[in-house]
Every structure is written in structure tokens, then in C-alpha cells.
Amino acid sequence: MKLTADLSLLALITGASLIVQLVLALLLFLSLWSWWQIFQKMFVLNRALKETNAFEDEFWNGADLNALFTRASQKQRVSGALERIFEAGFREFAKHKRQASTTADAVMDSSRRAMRAAYQRELDALEANLSGLATVGSVSPYIGLLGTVWGIMNAFRGLSNVGQATLAHVAPGIAEALIATAIGLFAAIPAVVAYNRYTHDIDRLATRFETFIEEFSNILQRQA
């Protein structure tokens, strides 16, 4: 009973050295932060996908461009990423189209630049904190390994004061050390999986945004 109590997770953590406890606290913080970012990014990307689907359906079903622009320009309304790209391009197109001295090539060049700038802003917003997930995924195992190495060193240093080393003497120190590695992996694996998944989803959205910019530019070219 005593051995089981000594090897319980709580007992091992509370009985660990200060360095190991600091490592565990850091890993716990990184894990909680990464899970917060994972859920937050999941909601952001799901909303972006739904908004993109809805706007594309409305746009390609023959909606009036002026009506779409008027609705997208309403400040009190929350628009989607693709809708904001459309708004930026059509706003620039309409502004230069009213100027009789502006050539068609100049109008199209200005509209494309406006849509590209809006596209980059939307992409940056979607990619926010992804690098943090990548950092957690790559660094956490090494932080856990640091705690493990330190814990094992303490365990073997403690054996120097024991006349005859047995499993009962070394097991608590080794188990305490391995907890750091386990928590490091617990923090790293979800972060890496989420980073890869979200990077793939953002790349797909970026491709759809770029395709829309080219197709919308062709529509504006005919009107210019």
C-alpha cells in the first residue's frame, strides 16, 4: 500500500525536485495554451469556410455586383474573408472607373493590387498563432526530456547514500523523471496534429481565394 501511494501521480509530482516541478508547470502551461489555440482556430476556420461557401454560392448564382458591394460595405455588418476581398477589389474598380482619364489597364491593375492586399491580410489573420502551435510541438518534448534527465540524475545521486540499491529505492526517482517526458509528449502531439491540419485547411482556403481573385478580375476586365 505504501509503495502504491508513493508511486501515485500526485505523490510523484509533489515529491519531485524544484527543477522538475518547474518543467512540469511550464509544460502544463504550454499544453493549456495550445489547446486554447486549437479550439479557437477550429472555430475561426469553420466560420471562414462557411462564410466562403455562402458568398461563393451567392456570387456565382448571378447576384448583382453593386448590391453585393453595398451589403459588404455596411460597417455594422460582419462580413467574411472572401467578401472583404471582393469589396476591396470592387471598391477600387468603381473608384477608378468613374475617372474618365483612367485607362482600362490601370483600373484592372489597381483592382488586382487591392484584392491582393486584402487577400494577404485575411491570410495573415487565418495563420495567426499557428507558429506558436508549431513551436509547442517541436519544443515540448525537449523540455520534458530536460526534466527527465534532471530527475534521473537526482535519482542516481540519491543512491550514493544507500548501502544497497534496490528497485524500491530507484523506482520513485525514475518514475518522477519519466512524468516530464510523458507530459512533454502530451503537450506536443496535439499541437503538431493541429498545426498540420490547420495549415492544410488554410492552404485550401488560400487557393480558393486566389482562384476567386483571378475569376473576378476576368469579370471586371470585361466591364472595364
Domain parsing of the chain, residue ranges:
2-223
- Residue written as cell 489597364? 105
Count the alpha carbons within 13 Å of 47 in the hemisphere toward its beta carbon. Answer: 11
In 10 A of CB 10, how many CB atoms?
8
In this prediction the pTM is: 0.81
Torsion of CA 78, 84, 86, 92, to 10 degrees: 120
One digit per residue, pLDDT tens: the chain, 224 residues? 344 445 565 666 666 677 878 888 999 999 999 999 999 999 999 999 999 999 999 888 877 888 888 888 877 667 889 999 999 999 988 887 777 666 778 888 889 999 999 999 999 999 998 999 999 999 999 998 888 888 777 777 766 665 565 655 666 667 777 888 888 999 999 999 999 999 999 999 999 999 999 999 898 888 76
